[in-house]
Every structure is written in C-alpha cells, then in structure tokens.
Structure 1
C-alpha cells in the first residue's frame, strides 16, 4: 500500500468522531497527522522496551517532522504491566513532563500499552488528548479502537478503567512485519472474531485468504480495514456497551477466565490465544445448548487450528484450576450483571447474540466436560 494513500475509517461519534488511518509509513507521518488535528500540542509517548527498540526512533523522527518533541515513558513488556504500579509510573511521567490538559498522550505499542496509556490519559488532569499508534495486529483491529482503557486486578482482567476515545488512530501496517508470529496469530483471533459475530462473508474470505493476510500485502490491509469498519460501526451504535457492543466480547468471557487462571503469564497464554480458545468454547457451548450445529463449532475449530492458534483448554501448557475455580473467574468478569451470567453465544457462523441469565450449572457442566483433567480422565 502506498504511503500517500492510507485507508481512512471514521468512527462516527458526533463531535468526538475520529479517524483510523491504515497503511504503510504512518509512523513517519505521525507528527503531521497529529499537528493537523491538535495544533501546538506537546506530547508524551508511552511504549514498552521491545517496541521502543524496533520503532521508537522512527516515530520520534515522524513527530519531529511535525514539530513535536516528545517525552518518552518506557514500560516493561507484557500483560503484567497493566497494573496499578505501572499506571502510577505513567501518570508520574506525564506530570513530570509538565504536560497540560490540552497536550497529547501517545500510546506506541500493543493492547497492553494502549489500555494502560489510555487510562492514564483519561485520569491525568481529568482527561487529556489521546492518540493510539498500535503496533500489534490485535491492537490494530481491536483494542486501539473504541475508547476502552484499563488495567487488570488480581481479581480479574480489565476491571479498573475508563472510557476515553482517542483523537486519532494510526495503524501502520509496516510495523507488523517485526511482530513475532505468535503475536500475529493472537491478533488474528480478534480479526476472525468480526466474521464470527455478524460477517459470515468475512469469515469465509479469511478461510480462503488467511495465508495472504499473514504474508502481508494488500490482503493484510484489507482485512485490518474491514475489522476496523466492523468495530467502528458497533462503537458508533453503542459507545458505552449498554447494548449490542457486548457482541464484541465473543470468546472473551471464557478467554478472560483462562487468562486469570494462568495469572496472566504470557509464556502460557496471551490475550488473543485466550480469545481463540474462548470463541471455540462459545461455539461448542452453543452446540451443547442446541442453539447451533456442531458442524459450525467444528468449522471454527478447524480454522483456528489451521492458522496455528490454540482452540481447546488442553492446548494451554501446564495445569489449569478445576472447573469450579474457572467458573469463579467467570462470575468475577465485568460482563456479569447482578450475578446473572451473560455470554455471547451463536446460532451459527456470523450469528452471534447476547444470551442473558445463562444457568451457572450449565456452564459448570460444560467446563467439566471441556477441562483437560476431565478429558485425560475420560
């Protein structure tokens, strides 16, 4: 894709609408794009050590071309960075730089850095300007869009945070070339999710073209843009997740429980892998409840397996807590309302729906059936 012609997807939120730019070479255009929308601002860039080594110099050069000399705040990589301690460090770095409310906080990194930085931007001086520059596929197609920010608690994932829409998202497709294949696969799970929610044609296209998406080129940019359009449509309809934005949580209730059960140990399970297993479980659970054909569950499992993603709990290295403990993590998830279990279930590929008041007994029975210990015992 040409540097001069990024794809633009607008997130339509009235006077808070913003653009997602998707294309190559956008790090070098960051200063120009930010200054056009937020003239005269100073900036802090929050990143992690791995991303800084690969991309910080390029971004700084791009910012300086637009007249922005950034303060850089560097965090350790990994899910455990989404914590109160690291939030405090980011907040202190922004305040130490004497940035004002009208200045901009830029997240350069994957979903962890985006979530942490957005939360800091949302609470420093009661809300600062925020720009997302996602460097992972997962962040480009999901976490950088829509305004959800937050950190984890020992009691569960993303339980502390705020909604803060960015002013701009710059999704530079070139940076994905440096992504480890495991991280790219993890992001692909979120991409496939949009097809499984309500775009069966997209899922079929991915089944036919996933290897080209992995290889790069126009198919990769096309897939990212389609995912961003899908999310932008949902966010514009339901910004604060009071209605059908919850559909975006397909696979996440199971997935978040598995992440919590592994203590957010990225060596064992990263977020997108948890989502992949969660989506497979959601389809299999829907089949068990006679809502969907087992053929649909098998189709989802086959595609996740083909791209190299885990799709069952036994694919997670090491031991998992028992089914009762997994259910306890699920009931702590923020998608639970007044104790009632809410799941995103499906009537088939591309036919997801919000199921409220799912009986805990059914979930527990399914978890026992799916648990690796149970499978080994059987």
Structure 2
C-alpha cells in the first residue's frame, strides 16, 4: 500500500490559489505546467523553481514542440514569472492579474456552499467518532462486569433456589408456590414495595422528554442555529458583492465590519442583496479604472430600502423598485437610530 502521509512531505499551497486554478479556463497542458512548477518550488520549500532545460517539462507530459509557446502564453497572461537567464520559474500569487477567463460553469455561491457543507461534515464526523469511541469503551466495560456477575450467579444458582427467595426491602411477601404459573407470579408480586418503587421511577422517567422526541431541542441548538444563520448571511452577501465586482475572492476587514453592522441592525438578507444589485446597476464609472472598491459603497442603497420598509411596515417591500429617494435628514436619522439601538444591545 502506498505511504501518503504528510510526514513524508507535502506541497503547502493557499486554498485561494487552488480555487483560482479550478476557476480559470486553463488547458490540460497549462495546468500540468503550473503543477510541475509548484512541485519544484513550494514542494521543495522554495519560492521559485529551478528548471535548467525546457526539455524537462516533458516530464509532466508537455510535448517538446509546445513547451516554449505554452510558457510564453502563461507569462504574457501574468500567470507565471520566467527568468530566462537564471532558469527560474514561479507562479504569480496576485491572481487578480491573471488574464485567463473563468470556466463556463463556474458559480462562486455554489462553490462556497460546497466548501461550507464539507467543513460541517468534517466537524460532525469528528464529534461522532469521539462519541462512538466513548460508547464502545463504556459498553466493553459493562459487558465485562456483566459477564463476571453472571458467572458468580450461575455458581450460586442452586443454593438460592433451595433457600428460597429473599425480601431485601423487608416486605411481607409470601413465598411463591412452585406449581404457580408465571402469570400468577407477576400478579402476586404487584403487592411488593420494590415493584411499586420501580413503577414510580418508570413513571417519572416517562414524563421526562426523551432525547429521540421530535419536539426535544438539544441544549445549545438555538445558539448553533443563530451562528449558522449568521454565517450563511455573511457568505451570501460576500458572494453577491464579489460576483458583481467581478474580481477578487475575499473581502477586506472593512467589508467584514460593514456586514456585522447589517446583522446588528437587523437588515433582511433580501434587502442587503437588492441594495448591492442596485448600487452596481446605477454605478457609472468616470474612467476605465474607476470601480466600486468597497462594500460600504452600497450603504446608501441598502439603508434606503430599509428606511422605506420601515415607513411601509404594513405593505410588503418591492425589491425590484429603484433605490428610494429620501432626504439626507431622514437618512441620517435612520442611521443614528440604528447606532443607538446597537449601543443599547451592547
């Protein structure tokens, strides 16, 4: 069996670079070249790979007649750095500069959802595995004790049968005739105080909420559901903003803080998403380098929709409408009221 443990060595690569390698429409040859360079650089704890001959790229399956053209194309597309004199190759970590189009079926929201599902699955598997280990250990101990107790009882079984049944609790139960049936034994034993105590205990346990009951809510579920909902809110808003922005895979700390404000102010997810859409739809760049560089740019549209919803609380909010026209005083009052609310809750 192959030994594939990380202790034997591994390529330490950021998840964002893996994601970008999947997202971009590289050909098979180009991917083979990138993986080959990564193995010779990061896989050797180096930032750059030393590949003395272009013919060496045949090792990863690229024909000799295509190696030079593929390297030139990757270099012109800002994907790799090529030092021809020193024979050094490296991957450009600033993937925003890569001039390779995304694949046709790429969906950022679905990709992030799959990552989230697998992280949750890993966490649940670790918890279940530890619980199963404890259960196995407990069951083994119980079985050992039960077997030992059973052997002792078998050795003294004849002695107990001759001497007759004992009444450990001191009740005055009469001896059971040997020719009585099992049904009579159960009926007569109903007068025993031991049976009454057991019945009371069983009745009390029946009144308790069973763990398998559908109405039972395990401790901590409310908090877990709240955190999961907040995480989904953050992921959805982030994905919508990055999709409309068209570049980058992560948001800034300032953007994270703005999403926290939206959550604290109780801004519905539909309003936050519609505010982002309207902000990008109405944005008119002044030059070719002009773009929306921060999620907080959408603040006016989002809180404008929120203010309109509060004014018409009895009517459903129509998100397809344009950004509501409100005065600066109304907008300022709305923000001050929300900030005061956050201060009281804190």
Same fold (TM over 0.5): no
Higher share of residues assigned strand = 1
Higher-RCO chain (CA-CA 8 Å, sequence separation at least 6) = 1
Pick the structure with more helix per residue: 2
Instruction: Specify the structure having the higher radius of gyration (Cα).
Output: 2
